[in-house]
Copies of this chain bind each other. A is one copy, B any other.
Amino acid sequence: MTATIHQLGATRAPSLDAMVQLVSADLNQVNAVILDRMQSEIPLIPELAGHLIAGGGKRMRPMLTLASARLLDYGGARHFKLAAAVEFIHTATLLHDDVVDGSGLRRGKRTANIIWGNPASVLVGDFLFARSFELMVEDGSLKVLRILSHVSAVMAEGEVDQLTAQRRIETSEDHYLKIITAKTAALFAAACQVAAVVAERDEAVEEALDAYGRNLGIAFQLIDDAIDYASDGATMGKDAGDDFRDGKVTLPVILAYARGDEEERRFWREAIEGRRVSDEDLAHAVRLLRAHNAIDDTLTRARHYGQRAIDALGPFPNGKAKAALVEAVEFAIARAY
């Protein structure tokens, strides 16, 4: 196989349609596991979990497991449970994130912590996390357990790292990349790698899928961070400017701060420290970001990681699965345009 045969920048609008079509039958199996295993005789658990799980998520991570398995021509059924386990880890993280950030809106819906309160969100998150490990134990692969327990620890570390960096304008691009690799990209990577484990493929295949998922995850998060300054609640399903108001130092801010003059830096410092939270302040922030090309350059960085994700697929045979995985990268990036 030639290495780089796909280039970003297709003419038609990329979508997840090819991926959805590729895995739709498999995804039904995963959804059945999810629905079955989020049950509990304590009614609040399926009620709260269902709000988020049934609530318009793209099932991006389980689809990555399923599409990666297709790429490897895996014909078994083990990955259904493991894709559900990955989605449970993701859902648990979302529940806890919304508590940590005090978020009120996700995917255009009120968040669970707003409806049921922080305590319920914390505890149901814990339940889903424990359930995900029960699913892995049923599968019985210690290697999968090692990958997913490690990624869970890494994600929590990334979240704590971000919490510590919050409200500190002096966060470097390297540090920021480390945070998003841990809190977002590591689970994308694990979701893909797990397919190689169940398909019993060699280390090189595991590494290639890990690299695909990791780079896709970084691109995905960079795009999210750019979108937070480029859209409103109606179009993106979460409150625009959330990161700004939470004092989150994301790449657009890091670039604008690095490129700004003394007065601008003072503005950013005050903003990130939480002393500039009005709509006017947000509008001023967006003006500064644009003046320094900070949003565009964040998107350029995202395209860099997107291209690396696509190139990581180089060794795999062409076909529907590979095309779908490539288009998933293009879609992740196109969301910003």
Contact = CB atoms under 8 A, between A and B. Distances in A.
Interface of A: 40-45, 92-93, 96, 99-101, 118-120, 122-124, 126-127, 129-131, 133-134, 136-137, 140, 142, 145-146, 149-150, 152-153, 155-157, 159-161, 163-164
A244 B101 CA distance: 30
Contact of A164 (B44, B126, B136): B44
B149 A122 contact: no
Interface of A is mostly: helix
Contact of A133 (B101, B123, B149, B160): B149
Given A42-B161, A149-B137, A156 B124 contact: yes
Contact of A45 (B40, B119, B136, B160): B160
B44 A159 contact: no
Given A120-B163, A122-B122, A161-B42, A127 B99 contact: no
A126 B96 contact: yes
Contacts of A164: 42-44
A101 B117 CA distance: 12
Given A42-B160, A42-B164, A161-B42, A127 B153 contact: yes
Contacts of A92: 126
A99 B118 CA distance: 9
Contacts of A101: 119
Given A137-B145, A137-B146, A142-B142, A123 B44 contact: no
